[in-house]
Structure 1
Amino acid sequence: MATLYRAVHYWLVDHPIITQYEWKPRQSPGASPLFLSITVTFYLSLTLLLHRYPTLPPPPSSALRLAAVFHNATLCLLSGVMAVGCALSVLHQTPPDNPSWCICFPAGSTTPRGPTFFWAHVFYFSKILEFVDTLLILLSGSCSRRLSFLHVYHHAVVPVMCYLWLAAAQTLMPVGLVTNAAVHVLMYAYYLLSAIGLRPGWKRMVTNCQITQFLYGYLVSGLMLYLHFTGSGCSGFGAWGFSTLFTTSLLALFVNFHLKNYAHARKMKPADRLVLGKDKRP
């Protein structure tokens, strides 16, 4: 077990590429507002174009299923690696005399370097990879059922938030990364099993976990605010404000989704759900 831990720790924390990582504006991959703007604009334009003018011929269902299996398996595995890698990196990088470092990067003296920020950079690019979620929905022809405002809004704004995490060395970045990546392990595992023909019985649990991560973020933010105003300040406070406003809007949308898809379904009789084709139970 100790040997396995040392191997995992080396490849996720101690490897030279990871330990020597540093975010350099306009030099590191994707480290410029221009790259971010072009990427998000392209995503929104392509989504709007394919949604309103579906010109691409539908691919064979077998090919689409295979692509979905590969995509969801990749993101499920990557999410797990990011969650573990960032958690280990935080433990490694936290100064012995500052145990609250992971929730309050010291203002004015924190630069985005080291293994914790390496995983933030990987996380940033993983959110661009998640654009494929939308493409798979568009190609499957199930837009009216699955392509919601919540879906597109979430995918378009998350990369902006992740960019600010790095550009501003934002406080609470490790908390947001680890909790979100952990929830995405569960979410993409659900999508993976669905793509191979199974239907797991924990669809509602995925939504509940997504809502819980936002509530947990508020709890930790309260502690961060205390440290910020009673100490010398926490790094990236403005970027934290943007993240908080964004996650608040997501929380409202997720709660609305939960009420529409689960609370309403519980009020209907089972026979009614089957007749109307709205049995949303996983």
Structure 2
Amino acid sequence: MIQTITYYLSEHPSIVNFRWSHPQSLGSTWSFLFASISFYITFSLFLHLLLSLLLRRRKHRPVPLGPIPALHSLSMSLISLTIFAGILLSAAAEIRDTRWFWRRSKTPFQWLLCFPLGTRPSGRVFFWSYVFYLSRFLHTFRTYFAILRRRNLSFFRLFNHSILIVMSFLWLEFSQSFQVVAILLTTSVYAVVYGYRFWTAIGLPSACFPFEVSCQVVLLSCNVLCHVGVLLLHFMKGGCNGIEAWVFNSVLNAAILFLFLNFYVKKHLRKRKFGDFDAIKESEIDMAKDKDL
């Protein structure tokens, strides 16, 4: 059983022989990237405006979606868990097969953060990076659910989803260092958070603290530490592949972190202003709704 899972997650010919290329890989062109993000933003704005006009008199009545959000959360949790297992096994296999090439300059952990110069976007880990990139488009359905259920469309939500799609594209396009650890961290958090969303969507009790926000804080903190590690390795170990894209990604990550902290501080000040338990609970619920992974 374990051997079968390992084969299909890291040793299958489609995984081993994967190569990121514009003619062969779906969604691998810059035109597709910009067109898809433009469509996502435009359609979200259109849907929000349409519902605002049609349902002005029923401001607080959501559009019924039935079990669709719960099924989406369950599927995203399972997809994230699969990507996590796949890239973990694939990274171990890549370390086993290519360590002879870089073992004098890097340890396996350093390789996870800092690819050797000249690394090409092919092989096992890039296959799962590609799957992760495609899964980012499935995450955008959370925006449509928020609009249909609460007519809630925030700039942060649009910015966050769009930027994360761009970053995952850059990982592949420039064979960027750090992506293996980033995908491991992100998919592990996604598997837990989306599993929690499914748990609460089917009527089971929720946590007594802002669970999703806490997970996001942990993820952002780990990303900051790993970015520092990449920077140190780049200057101490002769350079990391795709460092230009990494710099751009770092700027985008900093923007997301700034917006998140700004949102968090505003909610915290609101809690202090109201002071009572109901206001605190309402603030935490609003934060979990507005802040989307």
Aligned pair in 2 of structure 1 residues 162, 229: CA closer, same or farther (>3 Å)? same
Identify unmatched segments of 5+ residues in structure 2.
56-60, 289-293
| Aligned position for 1:106 | 116
| Aligned position for 1:130 | 139
| Aligned position for 2:58 | none
Task: Measure, in 1, the Cα distance between the counterparts of 2:183 and 2:213.
Answer: 18
- The Cα shift of 1:148 comes to 2.1
Q: Deviations over 1:128-171 (max 9, x none)?
A: 1111111111222x024xx3222111111111111100000000
- The Cα shift of 1:199 comes to 4.2
Which residue of 10, 14, 17 corresponds with 1:13?
A: 10
Equivalent position amino acid for 2:282 in 1? K
Which residue of 160, 170, 177 corresponds with 1:171?
A: 177
Task: Map 1:71-110 onto structure 2 (within 5 A).
Answer: 71-94=72-95, 95-96=98-99, 97=103, 98=106, 99=108, 100-107=110-117, 109-110=118-119
Aligned pair in 2 of structure 1 residues 198, 101: CA closer, same or farther (>3 Å)? same
- The Cα shift of 1:84 comes to 1.6
Task: Map 1:241-260 onto structure 2 (within 5 A).
Answer: 241-260=247-266
Aligned pair in 2 of structure 1 residues 46, 85: CA closer, same or farther (>3 Å)? same
| Aligned position for 1:157 | 163
With 219-228 and 23-32 compared, the bigger mean Cα shift is at 219-228
Equivalent position amino acid for 2:136 in 1? K
| Aligned position for 2:187 | 181
| Cα RMSD after superposing both structures | 2.4
Identify unmatched segments of 5+ residues in structure 1.
none
Q: Deviations over 1:39-94 (max 9, x none)?
A: 00000000111112227899962xx1311111111101101111121122111112
TM-score of the pair, normalised by structure 2: 0.84
Task: Measure, in 1, the Cα distance between the counterparts of 2:83 and 2:151.
Answer: 30
Identity over aligned pairs, percent:
31
Aligned pair in 2 of structure 1 residues 279, 173: CA closer, same or farther (>3 Å)? closer
Task: Map 1:186-197 onto structure 2 (within 5 A).
Answer: 186-197=192-203
Aligned residues: 271
| Aligned position for 1:280 | 284
Could you tell me whether the CA contact under 8 Å between 2:88 and 2:184 is conserved in 1? yes
| Aligned position for 2:130 | 121
Could you tell me whether the CA contact under 8 Å between 2:270 and 2:283 is conserved in 1? no
Give the secondary structure class of the aligned counterpart of 2:206.
Answer: coil
Could you tell me whether the CA contact under 8 Å between 2:19 and 2:122 is conserved in 1? yes
Could you tell me whether the CA contact under 8 Å between 1:265 and 1:273 is conserved in 2? yes
| Aligned position for 2:151 | 143
Give the secondary structure class of the aligned counterpart of 1:53.
Answer: helix
